[in-house]
């Protein structure tokens, strides 16, 4: 039957993998090295081991997420200098996250990684384009943090500037290379084989070091609550909302009056 055939093929693959592993000497064992520096040969994983490794499930991390009203953890991050380049990266500055954000109202935006598709194509460009309006709404700092080193973040920023064609001097870039900050915030996730532990996609509104809003998008691709459009709504002052509502009412009233006028003209027009 098909089931018996599948089982037989599986056994053949397992047996062949085991024989190949025993028959092929490792490269480390075949190269002569001095006794003091010689390392033990790394065991070969075999076909099934390699396949299983790439299909491993994501590890669940039971770390509580920071809550509204909490003070930011006392964790240091690297502030990537605004004039940094990969050829001559200026010396970075390590600051406590509260110091890096500064006083007043700010947004701390976490992204899974530099050069990843959603971060590069949508998330970061949206923030850059909305930075001025957010500033008008009273946001003093927009800081982007990823679990990359400062060289990668600098190259990412520079490449995006060249592709998009506009600057981003209004944003602050933070390197959390060891993931200490996102772990302390409870906003870290295992993204799977080949990616590992990364920052979740999140947005924290912070006022003078205290968290006032927490937004999280799950996975590496989703972008809804942490995107620029939603952050503009969150940061919009009440007086701006009232003004926009009043303008909408005025347009609705004018539209209704225009329709009534056209109806009257049509009704009273001769034959």
Residue pLDDT, tens place only, 7-35: 555 555 445 554 444 444 443 333 343 44
What's CA 72's distance to the chain center, in Å?
A: 19
Q: What is the pTM of this model?
A: 0.69
What's CA 138's distance to the chain center, in Å?
A: 24
Beta strand residue intervals within 186-254, DSSP E: 188-190, 197-199, 201-207, 210-217
- Of the listed 101, 119, 131, 235, which one is catalytic? 119
Q: Identify which of 63, 78, 99, 56 has the alpha carbon closest to the alpha carbon of residue 216.
A: 63
| b (16+ CB within 10 A) / e for 82-103 | eebeeeebeebeeeebbebbbe
Are the C-beta atoms of 166 and 137 separated by less than 8 Å? no
pLDDT at 183 exceeding the cut of 70: yes
* Mean pLDDT rounded to a whole number for the chain: 78
Backbone angles phi, psi at 13, to 5 degrees: -65, -45
User: Model confidence at 197, in pLDDT bands (50, 70, 90)?
Assistant: confident
Assign residue 231 a region: left if phi > 0, alpha if psi is -120 to 50, beta otherwise?
A: alpha
Task: State the Cα–Cα distance between residues 177 and 175, nearest whole angstrom.
Answer: 6
Backbone angles phi, psi at 175, to 5 degrees: -105, 120
The 8-class DSSP code of residue 112 comes to S
- Residue pLDDT, tens place only, 83-141: 655 555 567 789 999 999 999 999 999 999 999 999 999 999 999 999 999 999 999 99
Are the C-beta atoms of 168 and 161 separated by less than 8 Å? yes
Q: Is 11 a catalytic residue?
A: no
Are the C-beta atoms of 239 and 227 separated by less than 8 Å? no
């Amino acid at each position: 039957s098909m089931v018996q055939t599948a089982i037989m093929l599986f056994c053949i693959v397992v047996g062949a993998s085991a024989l190949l592993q025993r028959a092929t000497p490792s490269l480390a064992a075949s190269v002569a090295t001095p006794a003091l520096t010689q390392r033990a040969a790394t065991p070969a994983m075999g076909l099934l081991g390699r396949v299983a490794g790439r299909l491993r499930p994501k590890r669940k991390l039971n770390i509580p997420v920071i809550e509204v009203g909490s003070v930011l953890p006392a964790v240091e991050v690297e502030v990537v200098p605004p004039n940094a380049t990969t050829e001559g990266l200026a010396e970075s500055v390590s600051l406590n996250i509260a110091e890096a954000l500064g006083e007043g109202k700010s947004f701390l935006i976490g992204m899974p990684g530099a050069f990843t598709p959603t971060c590069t194509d949508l998330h970061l460009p949206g923030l850059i384009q909305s930075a001025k309006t957010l500033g008008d709404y009273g946001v003093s700092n927009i800081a982007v943090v990823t679990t990359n080193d400062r060289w990668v973040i600098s190259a990412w920023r520079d490449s995006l500037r060249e592709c998009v064609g506009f600057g981003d001097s209004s944003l602050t870039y933070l390197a959390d290379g060891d993931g200490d900050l996102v772990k302390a915030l409870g906003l870290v996730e295992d993204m799977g084989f080949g990616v590992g532990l990364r920052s979740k996609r999140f947005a924290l509104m912070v006022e003078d070091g205290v968290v006032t809003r927490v937004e999280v998008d799950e996975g590496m691709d989703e972008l809804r609550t942490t995107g620029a459009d939603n952050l503009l709504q969150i940061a919009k002052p009440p007086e701006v909302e009232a003004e926009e509502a009043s303008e909408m009412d005025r347009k609705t009233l004018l539209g209704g009056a225009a329709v009534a006028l056209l109806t009257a003209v049509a009704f009273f027009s001769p034959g």
